[in-house]
Amino acid sequence: MTTSLPDLFQTNHIDLLVVGAGPGGLACAIAAASRGLRVQVIDGREPPIDKACGEGLMPDTLDALSQLGIDHSQIQGAGFPLRGISFIKCDTTIEGYFPAGGGFGVRRTVLHQLLHNRALELGVSFQWKTVVTGVEGQQVNTNRGVWRARWIAGADGSQSRIRMMAGLDRASSSRRRIGLRQHFAVAPWTDLVEVHWTGRAQAYVTPVSESEVCVVFIASQRIAGIEEGLALFPSLKRRLAAAPLSGSPLGAVTLSRKLRRVTSGNIALVGDASGSVDAITGEGLALCFRQALALASAIEAGDLAFYEKAHARIRRLPHLMSRAMLLMDRYPVALARTFNVFERRPSLFPHLLQAHIGYEPLRLLGPGGLVASLICMLTP
């Protein structure tokens, strides 16, 4: 028996169609389903879905996960507790600590499974190996059928097809940088996320279990392999020289992109599809989780204008921090003077870290404010 087009529409009618099953898409599905919406997620890939990232979850990310129904005990059983962040350049180390509760290092695939399980608990449906071929109002055409959805969330990454189809591609972008991730089978030597700095490159070291660390190299030029990456950071190379590799290296492109708009009609963009901050901030996951929660609230209210405003507010501070840290990456003099200021003003780095994760407001004026620190940085 042949199914007529209206019957197919009736069968596949849902409240929210989420295109993309990465963390941002899964968070959208969870936030909407927890409000009683019928949610379908489609993705051209199959799980487990991985991506090169630093794999550190800061306290603000954990707070957002808690709002999605994934509590600290689930994360604690899957990862490694983190006490804070350290910036390291040659023989200089600057440390800042998280508020009570701290953060966690968690494998990206483990986090993805936790989100997937939570979505299934809430009744979210999934269809894999499914690619969108066209969008016309509430109708979404795919290689595996037609869907009708009141709302459509584009969570399909930095090369988003939904963004292009919705005409939301107008954006301003920073230069692209290249990331390379590798896990090492070695016991962590610290409970801090280490950010090693050198001329136009960084290495992020995140403990993700009692016997494994994640290392991500990010540079403006492509790093050919793990050996080349380690060669840029002699102290890190000495520490990891005898450590076995765990799994294969994985590369990715990172950049800061700000879109003019993130909504059009019944379509909203989330995560990297809606713009991004350079991975140097470590805020990618926190951003997409906050966006997902804000989008669910806007859908519940029936007005995506609320999401447009919330998205602009959510991205403001991470973009500011990204621009500041990219200046340190681009100009060696700025990097050297920044470390000098951090040494001369020990309270500044902890304050910036607390502001970065939303636990205290960013101070502009006063002895420990940004203005005084910039003057100090510009003074030889």
- Is residue 108 over pLDDT 60? yes
Same domain, 197 and 129: no
Q: Both 18 and 48 in a single domain?
A: yes
Range 90-120 burial, b when 16+ CB lie within 10 A, else e: eeeebbbebeeebbbbbbbebbbebbbebbe
| Lookup result for tokens 């420990």 | 368
Q: What is the CA radius of gyration of the chain?
A: 21
Lowest-pLDDT range of 10-14, 63-67, 209-213: 10-14
Joined tokens for residue 237: 């190379």
How many CB atoms are closer than 10 A to CB 239? Answer: 17
Q: What is the DSSP letter of 221?
A: S
- CA 98 – CA 360 distance, rounded (Å): 12
> Is 243 inside a domain boundary?
yes
**110: enclosing H helix or E strand:** helix 108-121
Render pLDDT for 128-177 as a digit per residue (tens, 0 to 9): 999 999 999 999 999 999 999 999 999 999 999 999 999 999 887 777 89
What are φ and ψ of residue 165, in 5° steps? Answer: -65, -30
Residue 203 sits in the same domain as residue 305: no
CB-based contact 135:162 (threshold 8 Å): yes
Concatenated DSSP letters of 311-328: HHHHHHHHHHHHHHHHHH
pLDDT score recorded for residue 370: 54
**Cα atoms in the Cβ-side hemisphere of radius 13 Å centred on 344:** 16
pLDDT score, position 301: 96
Residue 197: predicted pLDDT: 95
Closest CA to 342 of 318, 374, 365, 317: 374
Question: Is the same domain home to 317 and 234?
Answer: no
Residue type (1 letter), 138: Q
Is residue 185 within 8 A of residue 243, CB to CB? The reply is: yes
**Residue 41 is assigned to a structural domain of this protein:** yes
Q: List the structure tokens of 2.
A: 């042949």
* 243 shares a domain with 214: yes
Quick check: bond before 332 cis, omega within 30? no
pLDDT score, position 6: 37
In this predicted structure, the answer to whether residue 286 has a pLDDT above a threshold of 80 is: yes
pLDDT score recorded for residue 284: 87
To the nearest whole percent, how much of the chain has pLDDT over 90?
66
Which domain range does residue 244 map to? 177-254
> Is the domain of 158 the same as that of 206?
no
Report the CATH number at residue 19: 3.50.50.60
Q: Which pLDDT band, with edges at 50, 70 and 90, does 376 fall under? A: low
In a domain, 191, yes or no: yes
Has residue 67 been placed in a domain? no
The answer, yes or no, to whether residue 247 has pLDDT greater than 80, is yes
For the ranges 117-126, 192-201, 356-365, the one whose mean pLDDT is highest: 117-126
Task: Tell me whether residue 61 is in a domain.
Answer: no
Instruction: Using DSSP, state whether 278 is helix, strand or coil.
Output: coil
Q: Distance (Å, rounded) from C-alpha 161 to C-alpha 46?
A: 18
Please check whether residues 182 and 246 belong to one and the same domain: yes
Q: Show the tokens assigned to 378.
A: 């510009």
158 and 230 housed in the same domain = no
Question: Does the pLDDT at position 1 exceed 60?
Answer: no
263 forms bridges with which residues in the sheet? 268
169 in the same domain as 304: yes
pLDDT per position as a tens digit, 31-73: 999 999 999 999 999 888 898 888 999 999 999 999 999 988 8
pLDDT reported for residue 153: 98
Please compute the mean of the pLDDT values over residues 302-329 and round it to a whole number. 91
Tell me which of 254, 285, 302 is where a domain ends.
254
**Does 71 fall in a domain?**
no
Asked if residue 116 lies in contact with residue 18, where contact means CB atoms within 8 angstroms, the answer is: no
Three-state secondary-structure class, residue 336: helix
Q: Which of 52, 31, 46, 113 is nearest to 79 (CA)?
A: 113
State whether 294 and 145 are in the same domain. Answer: yes
Q: Write the CB contacts of 198 (distance below 8 Å, at least 6 apart in sequence).
A: 89, 232, 233
Q: Are residues 234 and 370 in the same domain?
A: no
Q: Is the pLDDT of residue 317 over 90?
A: no
Residue 351's pLDDT is what? 86
Kindly give the residue spans of alpha helices, DSSP state H, lying in 122-194.
161-165
Total number of domains in the chain: 3
Report the C-alpha gap between 75 and 78 in whole angstroms.
Answer: 5
Residues 6+ apart with CB under 8 A from 100: none
Q: Is residue 80 part of a domain?
A: no
End residue of a domain, out of 254, 280, 297: 254
- So what's the pLDDT on residue 380? 53
Q: Is the dihedral of CA 245, 247, 249, 254 positive or negative?
A: negative
Read off the tokens for 374: 């910039």
Contact 119, 33 (CB under 8 A): yes
Distance CA 228, CA 221 (A): 12
End position of a domain, from candidates 206, 231, 254: 254
When pLDDT is cut at 50, 70 and 90, the band that residue 190 belongs to is very high
CATH of residue 193: 3.30.70
**318 and 262 share one domain:** yes
The whole-angstrom separation of Cα 187 and Cα 316 is 37
